[in-house]
A and B are shown apart, each in its own frame.
Chain A
Amino acid sequence: MPSQRIQAVNKKTQTVTKEIYDFKNKRVSIMNKVMPILLFLCASVSVLTTIGIVVTLISETYQFFQKIPIFDFLFGTKWSPLIPPKSFGVLPLLSGTLMITLIACLVAIPLGLASAIYLSEYAPKRVRKIIKPILEVLAGVPTIVYGYFALSVVTPIIQSIFNGAGVFNALSAGIVVGIMIIPMVSSMSEDAMSAVPRSLRDGAYALGATKFEVALKIVVPAAFSGIVASAVLAFSRAIGETMIVTVAAGSTPNLTANPLESIQTMTAYIVQVSLGDTPHGTIEYGSIFAVGMTLFVITFLLNILAQYIARRFREEY
């Protein structure tokens, strides 16, 4: 009975093959069930990060405000957390941050916008291909390197122009922060300008407009929402900048309008405290969370504002 044996073997092979198939299928179906969940967990890390930031800041800030009245913090004009009589008025830090940011924006917004106009409207393709990556390198330079640049190049220049300027001053740090955010303004603005359709420009040229008229009266207004959004983002980036101001602007909380004086920003204060050995639970330790909270809220609102402007006021063509 060879045929029966063959049949039996055949049957066995079939079952084995089927088992292998089943096993493979099972593995495949397990992967298809498990992977989406694992991947979702990966994606939720970003949400957890945000929750972590908010919870940390709120809980520690809440404890801080148990000891220091919130009114004294927000409206006090003297910041002296380490040397008695201790005083926790955030206005000097806020004004220092604001001064740096304003100087930076005065540097970055005109230069960045002009660069964007040049790159998108004037520059020949070849020049554009060279200049654009160079500007992008500016955005990739570590901030500590900019800090060095501020101290060793910009500050001496400022001191030789203005007599009263100290080694640490807001002007030098502000200018260098401005240089750092030029590429942010220029690349985002340029993207917005490139999105303006060719036909609009052609229409203006056909009416006899010159290049600058097309750039300033047609392209810039059409891309305005993108330009404003880039400026707001750059502003927010300047507020959060840490190492340049820590290195070059000094560590004197100073409610002043004189950019040649040494000041302290919110970020620089946080660095100063964490460099020292401040024990957990003290008021000084709590103060970095209160300052961090202020910083986070301001930059968060600015980022939301930028996204809102970019979406709400976009001209659709």
Chain B
Amino acid sequence: MNIFQDANRKQIANRRKMDWMLHILFVAATSVGVLALSALIIDILIDGVARLKPDLFTNFPSRRADGSGMKSALVGSIYMLLIMAPISFIFGVGAAIYLEEYAKKSRITRMIQLNISTLAGVPSIVYGILGLTLFVRLLSLDRSLIAGALTMTLLVLPIIIVSAQEAIRAVPKSRRDASFALGATKWQTVARSVMPSALPGVLTGVILAMSRAIGETAPLVMIGALTYVAFLPSGIKDSFTVIPIQVYNWLSKPQLEFKELAASGIIVLLALLLLMNFSAILLRNKYQKNV
């Protein structure tokens, strides 16, 4: 009897030890991600802070690192956002309303839905290839701001549609019923009852999609956003550059000074992203209380 008890106790002790060891292992594995993020941020701050001077925002890029700035890239990024935000909002939210409120459960609807989730998994550079052929060549928009903005619109559309659909789905059915009971038509219900209630969620999704677009490099390299731009675009058909491309350009130069410039460009980019994400969170928190 005693022998069995001993063996049993030993086994339990072993299992406890195993449990404890795995716990440590899981914590360690989780902290790798956190550590990597901290290392990344610290490294960029150390390299880039020194060149984070007004010159960076007021000067155009130049061949010498000193006094080189990213004015054209910053302005290009903002212009691109301003063009693509309304377009992608209209098409993305329109598609979401159709799928959630109007579409019948048919084969076509299922196909559209499947198509959207598949599009979200297509590599961004493939969108670049599409943009190059469709906008730059076929519609002969050339390597312009509008071609870039349209390409990025197609890229972020699936993200906006999916998040807007979730926001619309979260609106309780009782709201629609109340509107119909007052004699409202379908469109009145959608436009005046469902959408106002879903809007904060929709906007959050749109802002997050924009922050994805602002960091995207590859498709814009494809459609030919220039790496060296020493002027501000004055119209939608002008050529342009954006922050990530400017960073890439600096990064591909061998001199150390340009690497520092790249790091300070990254700081600006991350600050912009932080700002957008923060406003998305604020928006969500502000309206979550009201519902």
Contacts and interface: CB of A to CB of B under 8 A. Distances in A.
A160 to B, nearest CB: 15
A247 B122 contact: no
Contacts of B34: 131, 134-135
B129 A28 contact: no
B154 interface: yes
Nearest to A115: B30
A147 B26 CA distance: 27
Interface stretch (A9-17, A199-207, A293-301): A293-301
A274 B215 contact: no
Interface residues of B, number: 86
Interface of B: 15-16, 18-19, 22-23, 25-27, 29-30, 32-34, 36-37, 39-40, 43-44, 47, 90-95, 97-99, 102-103, 111-112, 115-119, 121-130, 132-134, 137, 154, 157-158, 161, 185-188, 190, 211-212, 214-218, 221-222, 224, 227, 244, 247-248, 251-252, 259, 262-263, 266, 269-270, 273, 277
B104 to A, nearest CB: 11
Given A28-B185, A32-B185, A46-B112, A267 B123 contact: yes
B40 A153 contact: yes
Nearest to B248: A144
Contacts of A302: 121
A134 B32 CA distance: 12
A197 interface: no
A258 interface: no
A117 B112 contact: no
A243 interface: yes
Nearest to A45: B91
A47 B112 contact: yes
A21 interface: no
Given A39-B98, A135-B34, A148-B266, A53 B126 contact: yes
Nearest to B17: A210
Interface in A273-299: 274-275, 280, 288-289, 292, 295-296, 299
A81 to B, nearest CB: 16
A152 B126 contact: no
B112 A148 contact: no
Contact of B259 (A152, A186, A243, A295): A152
A166 interface: no
Interface string A135-158: 101101111111111011100000
Contact of A288 (B32, B98, B129, B227): B129
Contacts of A122: 23, 26-27
Nearest to B277: A140
A271 B222 CA distance: 6
Given A153-B39, A275-B221, 13 more contacts: A47-B111, A49-B154, A134-B33, A146-B40, A210-B16, A236-B121, A240-B124, A242-B218, A267-B123, A270-B129, A274-B128, A299-B123, A299-B126
Contact of B37 (A35, A138, A210, A241): A138
Contacts of B212: 140
Interface in A18-51: 28-29, 31-32, 35-36, 38-47, 49-50
Contact of B26 (A49, A114, A247): A114
A104 interface: no
Contacts of A241: 123
B26 A53 contact: no
B98 A114 contact: no
Contacts of B103: 43
B115 A46 contact: yes
B43 A56 contact: no
A90 interface: no
Which 3 residue pairs across A and B have the least CB separation, nearest first? A240-B123, A142-B215, A42-B94
A179 B34 CA distance: 10
A211 interface: yes
A201 to B, nearest CB: 14
A303 B26 contact: no
A315 interface: no
A186 B39 CA distance: 20
Given A46-B116, A270-B125, A275-B227, A148 B251 contact: yes
A39 B32 CA distance: 45
Contact of A53 (B92, B121, B130, B252): B130
A39 B126 contact: no
B123 A242 contact: yes
